[in-house]
Amino acid sequence: MTLSLETALAEAPVIVILRGLTPPEASVIGEALVQAGVRVVEVPLNSPEPFESIRILSESLAGRAVVGAGTVLDPGEVDTAAAAGARIVVAPNTDAAVIGRCRALGLEPIPGVGTATEAFTAIKAGATRLKLFPASSYGPAHLRALCEVLPIRTEVFAVGGIGPGELMLWHDAGAAGVGAGSNIYRAGAIAADVAAHARAFIEQAREVWSA
């Protein structure tokens, strides 16, 4: 059975960013994350052999997690990510062509935004989920102001430099969830350590977003 993105995020509102992941470790790290409660992962395309890692994760975590590609910058990369099994496409920027290609292929785009102009450009192109990036530079107050003018069904995820101790601030500012990278996974980390970091982060996120 396919796990929907909506269900995955409802279970754990955290997208885990596996920057630097390699294909040989993909299945082991992926299994450790799922056992720790993670339901959404992305492999940035500036990782070694990212499409192969996406393929491995998509197959090994089928029905248990939603797998996506990150740092996607052009429509051609969307095609390759889709062929590898990606179901979400995350970007650091807003590119209408990337968003449009995602929609054409049935993938969920999560473009990066910072300003209201970028946010509304992304929404006009077809995005319903946005990534405030880098969140640590903008801060919760910026997100709170941005959310006041966005369509009510738009979800914004805060990504970049967010630790588990800051989750309540982002929740209160209107974030639908967060992206977590180095707080959970660093290139070369062993699975047991990744699982421990993920479990602590996920437990805190669930507590915050269920309050």
Choosing from 25, 42, 108, 155, the catalytic residue is 42
Whether residue 6 lies in the annotated active site: no
The beta strand positions in the chain, using DSSP E, are 14-17, 40-44, 66-70, 88-90, 108-110, 112-113, 129-132, 155-159, 177-180
Q: What are phi and psi of 162, to 5 degrees?
A: -105, 125
Distance, in Å, from the CA atom of 36 to the CA atom of 57, rounded to the nearest integer, reads 16
Whether residue 11 lies in the annotated active site: no
Q: Name the 3-class secondary structure at 9.
A: helix
Q: What is the DSSP string of 153-205?
A: T-EEEEESS--GGGHHHHHHHT-SEEEESTTT--TT--HHHHHHHHHHHHHHH
Choosing from 25, 77, 108, 131, the catalytic residue is 131
Q: What are phi and psi of 110, to 5 degrees?
A: -130, 80
Q: Which residues are catalytic?
A: 42, 131
